[in-house]
Chain A
Amino acid sequence: MGNQVEYVIETNNLTKKFEKNFKSSYAVSSVNMHIKKGAIYGLIGKNGAGKTTIMRMIAGLAKPTTGEIHLFGDCNSKNMSYRRLGILIENPGIFPGMSAYDNMKCKAICLGISGYKEKINEILKLVGLEDVGKKQAKKFSLGMKQRLGIGLALLGGPDVLILDEPINGLDPQGILEIRELLIKLNKEKNITILISSHILEELSKLVTHYGIVKDGKLIEEISSEKLKEKCLERIEVKTDNPDKASTVIEKAGIMNYKVVDANTIHIYEKLDELKEINKLLIKNEVDVDSITVNSEGLEDYFIDITGK
């Protein structure tokens, strides 16, 4: 007892292959993911990158073709680890003919929660659905359905929440409320959250770690601190000869730089020596189209890394 698990979710070469018309394609390929306890892990990637499939496998809804998933340090999927997960994947799974309370009660019965009435009312209040009464879920707005989906995920006091696009369809006020709710759950109840969203700006206000998925592969895992460092201010040099420019830069003792593409170099040090660097490049016959100091947001970083 008392043996702390470093990662609450860890995947090892997680792969999912689909067969269709005798052709196989990889939705997820060799994903090694590491989610620490208490983290808010943002999974980002383009549509069809494999985010939902990864989440479905972690949640136990889909079986991996190969690879392992360690939940709370345990890789045996037959044990009760899945009960410690609260999930909202794709659309919220709710019975349209039932009220919010009845939908919650169904899951509460399944989980065997004693004294569920108070717990359900507490969660409904938490997600802002305390006043809906006996209104059928089919008459709910998209945002209300989404909140009910989050409420269902919260039932049973999960240690980890897996939320796939939870702010889809919410108005700005709703997005703010959900963000505050997730931060509160994370801080006060120490719930680890795995979340995906297309609204990167919104995600950047929440997450502590990022996992960037491209074509079924996890191409980068990075903490928000490191990402901030990477997105720090830099000198952006536009030139048609980056190789020559990088040689000149290195001779000037600048080592922290990156050739981004065939026309761009990013320099992450000596930001106050813009003029000197410019003079140096011109002196060494490097054609400089432009040289500016700017910074990169999450969106730019994401586009940089996944390609346009």
Chain B
Amino acid sequence: MFRYIKMDLYKLLKSKFFYICMIVFLALIALSVVEIRDIEKDVLAGREVQISDSDTYYTTGIGPNAYKVVGDGINLKNLINMTYGGNMMLLMALITLVLLLCSDYSAGYIKNTIVIPKYRWYTNISKIVSAFIIMTAENILAVFSYLWCIKFYFKSAAIGEVKGLGQYLAVEMILYLGLAALFIFVCDLTQSKATGISLGVLVSCQLVGTLIMVLIGEVFNIKPKTTVKLIISFVQSDLMAGMSRSVCKEALILGGVALLVYTTFANIVVSKKDY
């Protein structure tokens, strides 16, 4: 299994899309920083900025979050929190994962390697590890980018509580891995880049979550208050709003269950499928 993981990492580092996604991710961070800096300037100048003005600051899709970040006091955790809140980190990570996964299928390379490991499902575990590495690379990129901005760019920023940041990133990672398992399952099933990327975009903009919530509400007459606890992207938003003990617990349980269930489904698909 370790050989398969090693191979996936080699593929990841050799492929352009990994670097392109990281560059796009970095560019989005830069845009968000410019946006926050503008708001910060207004706040420091004593100008009152209304939330309703958020349309003016909507370049990166993180406009409202940018207000919150400035309002709460700019620090490392808030800035990173914002990148998750805007879902851009998630989107980039998921697209990288989908491209990594589906390149095996579209190129037909899977035929060369699927029979090498003792069990076919080793390939899925390898992809989960790859997802973890992609997310870690993004985390490192985000932390260092924002640290640099805090030191040289913002006027009123602080590093903030490091332990809290660590906990936040760990819980986010579990949620992300749960979502990554879903994508691995979908990619194994459809073997289609287009399906994977489309799903990535829809999940990131919470459209899938909203649809599921509405459907569950209509069919089972369950209140949205309960349903949101079952949808990763909504729990992630809750997490962004505040790291309370109960939200953390919910996020860990949901992420863990999603990781386990979707990985099991993906393993069944890979074991049964013909290549």
Contact = CB atoms under 8 A, between A and B. Distances in A.
A75 to B, nearest CB: 15
Q: How large is the interface on B (under 10, 10 to 19, 20 to 34, 35 or more residues)?
A: 20 to 34
A152 B108 contact: no
A238 interface: no
Interface in A66-117: 78, 80, 82-83, 85, 87, 89-98, 102-103, 105-107, 109-112
Contacts of B15: 95, 97
B237 to A, nearest CB: 36
A106 B110 contact: no
Q: Interface majority SS on B: helix, strand, loop or mixed?
A: helix
Contacts of A89: 111
B273 to A, nearest CB: 9
Contacts of B272: 63
Nearest to B17: A97
Contacts of B109: 93-95, 103, 106
A67 B4 CA distance: 30
Interface string B81-122: 000000000000000000000010001111111111011000
B220 interface: no
A62 B274 contact: yes
A62 B120 CA distance: 12
B10 A93 contact: no
Given A98-B14, A106-B7, A106-B11, A62 B107 contact: no
Interface residues of A, number: 32
B3 A60 contact: no
A61 interface: yes
A89 B115 CA distance: 13
A111 B114 CA distance: 11
A83 B118 CA distance: 9
Contacts of B249: none
A103 B109 CA distance: 9
Given A61-B114, A61-B115, A92-B108, A109 B7 contact: yes
Interface in B208-249: none
Interface of A: 56, 59-63, 78, 80, 82-83, 85, 87, 89-98, 102-103, 105-107, 109-112, 152
Given A90-B111, A107-B7, 16 more contacts: A61-B115, A61-B274, A61-B275, A82-B116, A83-B116, A90-B108, A91-B108, A93-B112, A97-B14, A105-B10, A106-B10, A106-B11, A107-B113, A109-B3, A110-B6, A110-B116
6 contacts: A56-B274, A83-B116, A87-B115, A89-B111, A95-B15, A110-B116
